[in-house]
Amino acid sequence: MVEGKGLRIGELVERSGAGKQLIHYYLRKGYLHPPLFKSGNQALYDHSHLEKLQFIKRGRANGLPLAYCVELWEKEREGREAEPRRSRRGEGGSPTRDHIIKEATAVFLRKGYRAATISEIMESVGVTKASFYYYFESKKDLYFKCLDNIFQDVFVGVLEGIRHEEDMIRRLEMRWGASRSFFPEMITILQLIRDSLRDEDREHRLQAAAILRRSLIEPLAGDLERGIREGVFRPVESGIVPFALISMLEMVAYRSMIEESFSDADIEAAVLDLILHGLLRT
């Protein structure tokens, strides 16, 4: 398959050796999974369709019943999908998979995890629901693939400037300013992560914790530790303070949304003053 284009029915016929009518029969009866994309009379298939047709052809040539060939194929497929997730089919830069992640990221940000549906995501992508289960095990599997993208989509225009800023106080101001500009999205992101940290699946909890640390905790901790080394900040516990700052961010975000007696600039100034000077007189 040429990545990004897929196989049209003519090419699938030529490469598999199966006739067009036979392929359509397999599709109608469920012996062959639906195409990755279908619009009117146009459909696109991929390497998995070609492999399955070739497998069935070999089995039939050896006298095996059609249903048994399909059963053998499914068992072989299950064995491959039981391998570590990073080696599953569909990963490795597939344009369809990337498109699903992009569209799902927007849906999760807009509606949250629970309200988002696979059908809605697939409709926005323009591929069949069967294609979803080729690339992802479940909605939750897709959701965790999206979490990193969510952070990048929200902060992509700001992170580069922060990386090149040498003044540590200014770096904190820039991080706060970036978060303040996306308060609704930040609330959604933090809620998604919090829900995931309470997930019954231990692997999902570990994934959520890793994303939280990589995207929010570690950058803040790095700034604090550098500021301490440079004598800008007093010594604090960099493994704890970032969690407190993020908790503050979430509650202040709610504050700005439910009452408008203070401007965004007022809120930013008050929070930065609290961070930099605390409450006690000196």
pLDDT tens, position by position, 68-86: 788 777 776 665 554 444 4
Length of the chain: 282
Closest to 4 (Cα-Cα) out of 39, 47, 40, 42: 47
pTM for the model: 0.57
Q: Could you tell me if residue 236 is inside a domain?
A: yes
Task: Say whether both 132 and 155 belong to one domain.
Answer: no
Token digits of residue 2: 């040429």
Q: What is the CATH number of the domain that holds 104?
A: 1.10.10.60
Sign of CA pseudo-dihedral 188, 270, 261, 251: positive
186 Cβ contact partners less than 8 Å away, ≥ 6 residues apart: 154, 179, 249, 250, 253
d(CA 40, CA 181): 43
Supply the pLDDT for residue 13.
Answer: 93
Q: Distance of CA 66 to CAs 8, 50, 73, 193, Å?
A: 24, 16, 11, 46
d(CA 81, CA 68): 20
Task: Say whether both 64 and 132 belong to one domain.
Answer: no
Task: Say whether both 161 and 42 belong to one domain.
Answer: no
Give residue 120's identity as a one-letter amino acid code. Answer: E
pLDDT tens, position by position, 86-102: 444 445 556 778 888 88
Q: What is the CATH number of the domain that holds 51?
A: 1.10.1660.10
Domain range for 120 is 95-139
d(CA 128, CA 36): 6
CB 100 within 8 A of CB 121: yes
pLDDT tens, position by position, 137-174: 778 888 888 877 776 666 666 677 788 889 988 888 88
